[in-house]
Structure 1
Amino acid sequence: MNSAFDTSALTARAEVAIDVARKVGREAARFRREGNSGALHVENKGLQDFVTVADRQAEQAIREGLLARFPDDTFMGEETGGKSGSAGTWVVDPIDGTTNYIRGFRHWGVSIAFVVGGKVEIGVVYDAANDQVFSAIRGRGALKEGQPIHAAPTTDPANAIVVLGHSRKTSFDDYAALSKRLYERGMDYRRMGAAAVDLVRVAEGVSDLFYERHLNAWDMLAGALIAAEAGAKVAIPPVAMLLEDGGPVIAHSPGLAEEFAFLVEFEGLAG
C-alpha cells in the first residue's frame, strides 16, 4: 500500500465515500420519482451507453463530496472521464444500471472505488432497491450497513442462482451458449443489468455467480472488492488494464470454484 494511505487514511475515505454514495443515491432516486419526461431526457452515446441529467448531477455531487475532503486525490468518472494518478484515484459510476434507472426498474446503484498503486483499496456500492450501502476496505472484510456479510456456502450447482451480464460489445452466441450450459447443470440464472449491484449480491450470498465478458472499470471495481472481501472467488484482469480498456469479471461462491473454473480458464484469468 502507498505509505500515504495508512489505515486511518483509508478509513476516513471509506466513511466519506459511504456517506456520499448514500446521499447521492437517495437524491437520484428522489429525482427519478419526481422527474418528468423532460427531466429524464436521454442522449444516446453509443451501444448500451446512456446519459441522463441524473447521471451528470450525481457524478458532480460525488466528485465534489470526495474532493472537498481529499483535494489531492484524482477522480475518474463514467461521465466526465479523467485519468488515474500516481497517488489515489476515485473510480466512479454515478448510476450503474442507467437503463434500469430510466425505465423505473429499481435494480441500479452508485459505485465508488478507490485505487492506489494498481490495487482497489476501497469499494462502496449503494443498492437503490434496498436503500443500503455495501462497503469494503482491502483486508478488512465486507459490510452491508456496517454489518459483516459473507458469500454463500453453496456447493451443489443445482442449488445455485447465477447472474449474467451481457454487453453488445461481446458475442451473443457465447452468452447464449453459456446460458444453455448453466441451465443444463441445473442452475437458475438471471440477467439484471447493473454489475455493481450484481457483484454485491454475490458478496451477501444472495447469488452464487456474477459473470460478464466486458465491463468498464467503474462498473466493477467497487463490487469486485466487496465480493472478494466477503469470501467470494473473484477473477479480473490487472487494475491498470481495466482502467484503460475494461475487461471481464468473474465472482462466485467459493464452494463452486470447480464448477466455474472453465470461465476463469476461458477468460485467461488467475482465479
Structure 2
Amino acid sequence: MNSPFDAAAIRARAEVAIAIALDVGREAARFRRESAPGTLAIENKGLQDFVTVADKRAEEAIRNGLLSRFPEDTFMGEESGGRSGGAGTWVVDPIDGTTNYIRGFRHWGVSIAFVVAGKVEIGVVYDAAEDKVFHAVRGGGAFKDGLPVHAGATTDPANALVILGHSRKTSFDDHLALSKRLHERGMDYRRMGAAAIDLVRVAEGTADLYYERHLNAWDMLAGALIAEEAGAMVAMPPVDSLLADGGPVIAHSPGLAGEFAFILEVEGLARSAD
C-alpha cells in the first residue's frame, strides 16, 4: 500500500515531532529534578512496571501537540491507549525507561513514531542523558541534533559491546543462555532498561547490538527506524502485528551479521528490506 502522504507532509510532521520531543523531554527532566521525594505519584501497573504523573503529563502534552497540528491523524500511547487507523498513526512512549526515571538513572527518553500503511515513516527519540534528539525519516538517514549518525563498523566480536533487554513475559533462562553465548564469543554486554535509547545507541555506533524478545510497539518503533536509517541491520515482526501484540526486535552493526544470525533463526525473523 502506498503512503497517502507526500514528502512535504512527512517532513512537516517530523519537524513538529522533533520540537515536541525536545520540549516534553526537557520538561520531564526538570520535573524529575525538582520533585521532592514521594511527589512522583508512582503507580504500579505490574511487577517492576511503573507509571508516574510525569508519564501521564508528558503523553498528554505530546498528544495535544501532535493532534492540534494534525487532527486527521490517530494516536496510540502507552498510558492513554488509543488505536491505529486512518491515514497515519502516532505511536508514543512518553517516558521510555520509567523505572530509570523514577530512580534518577538518566537512561530514559521520549519515543515518538509515525506509522503509515504498515511502515514506520518517522522516528524521533529524545535522549535524556545527553539532552539531544535523534530522528529519522524513512529513506533520509539518521540524525542526532541534526548531525548524521552511523552504525558501528565493528567486525570482531571480541571488540563488540551489546545491550540485551529482558521482559518478564519471556524466559529468564533463555536470557541467561544468550548472555553466556555472547560472553563466550568475547562480547561485553549491558542491560540498561530503555529500549528506545538502547536502539539509538546502536544507531550512533556506541553499541553493536540491541535485542529483546518482547517489547510493545511504542517502545521500539521510533528507535528501530533510526537504527535502520543509520545503517544498522534491523529485524522485527510486521508493524501491524507489533501494534496489536508487541514482539521481538534486533538491531546490530552490519559487520557482525554472522554473529547474530542465530537470533533471527530463534525468533523466525527476516531483516528489514525496502
Fold match by TM threshold 0.5:
yes
Residue number in structure 2 paired with 1:61: 61
Amino acid at match of 2:45: K
Structure 1 residue 162: Cα displacement = 0.1
Partner Cα separation in structure 2 for residue 3 and residue 53 of structure 1: 36
Residue number in structure 2 paired with 1:126: 126
Per mean C-alpha deviation after superposition, the further-off stretch among 152-161 and 3-12 is: 3-12
The Cα offsets for residues 95-140 of structure 1, whole Å up to 9 and x where unpaired, read as: 0000000000000000000000000000000000000000000011
Structure 1 residue 187: Cα displacement = 0.3
Structure 1 residue 38: Cα displacement = 3.1
Partner Cα separation in structure 1 for residue 53 and residue 9 of structure 2: 33
For the 8 Å contact 1:165–1:195, the answer to whether it is kept is yes
Residue number in structure 2 paired with 1:204: 204
Task: Give the RMSD, CA atoms, in angstroms.
Answer: 0.8
Q: Matched residue of 1:259: which SS?
A: helix
For the 8 Å contact 1:48–1:167, the answer to whether it is kept is no
Residue number in structure 2 paired with 1:223: 223
Per mean C-alpha deviation after superposition, the further-off stretch among 10-19 and 42-51 is: 42-51
Q: Matched residue of 2:4: which SS?
A: coil
Superposed, 1:104-253 pairs within 5 Å as: 104-253=104-253
Amino acid at match of 1:54: A
Alignment of 1:16 onto 2:16: yes
Give ranges in structure 2 of 5+ residues lacking alignment.
none
Residue number in structure 1 paired with 2:44: 44
Alignment of 1:77 onto 2:91: no
Aligned residue pairs, count: 271
For the 8 Å contact 2:3–2:117, the answer to whether it is kept is no
For the 8 Å contact 1:48–1:168, the answer to whether it is kept is no
Structure 1 residue 46: Cα displacement = 1.3
Partner Cα separation in structure 2 for residue 80 and residue 25 of structure 1: 18
Partner Cα separation in structure 2 for residue 25 and residue 2 of structure 1: 33
Partner Cα separation in structure 1 for residue 244 and residue 48 of structure 2: 19
Structure 1 residue 36: Cα displacement = 1.5
For the 8 Å contact 2:139–2:229, the answer to whether it is kept is yes
Amino acid at match of 1:145: D
Question: Matched residues, percent identical?
Answer: 79
Amino acid at match of 1:224: A
Structure 1 residue 253: Cα displacement = 0.1
Residue number in structure 2 paired with 1:99: 99
Partner Cα separation in structure 2 for residue 203 and residue 105 of structure 1: 21
Structure 1 residue 41: Cα displacement = 1.9
Q: Matched residue of 2:62: which SS?
A: helix
Structure 1 residue 2: Cα displacement = 4.4
Amino acid at match of 2:106: R
For the 8 Å contact 1:86–1:117, the answer to whether it is kept is no
Partner Cα separation in structure 2 for residue 115 and residue 66 of structure 1: 14
Partner Cα separation in structure 1 for residue 47 and residue 119 of structure 2: 29
Give ranges in structure 1 of 5+ residues lacking alignment.
none
Structure 1 residue 42: Cα displacement = 1.1
Structure 1 residue 3: Cα displacement = 4.6
Amino acid at match of 1:152: G
Normalised TM-score (structure 1): 0.99
For the 8 Å contact 2:126–2:132, the answer to whether it is kept is yes
For the 8 Å contact 1:141–1:148, the answer to whether it is kept is yes
The Cα offsets for residues 63-111 of structure 1, whole Å up to 9 and x where unpaired, read as: 0110111011000000000110131000000000000000000000000
Partner Cα separation in structure 1 for residue 107 and residue 64 of structure 2: 25
Q: 1:246 and 1:61, CA in 2 relative to 1: closer, same or farther beyond 3 A?
A: same
Amino acid at match of 1:239: V
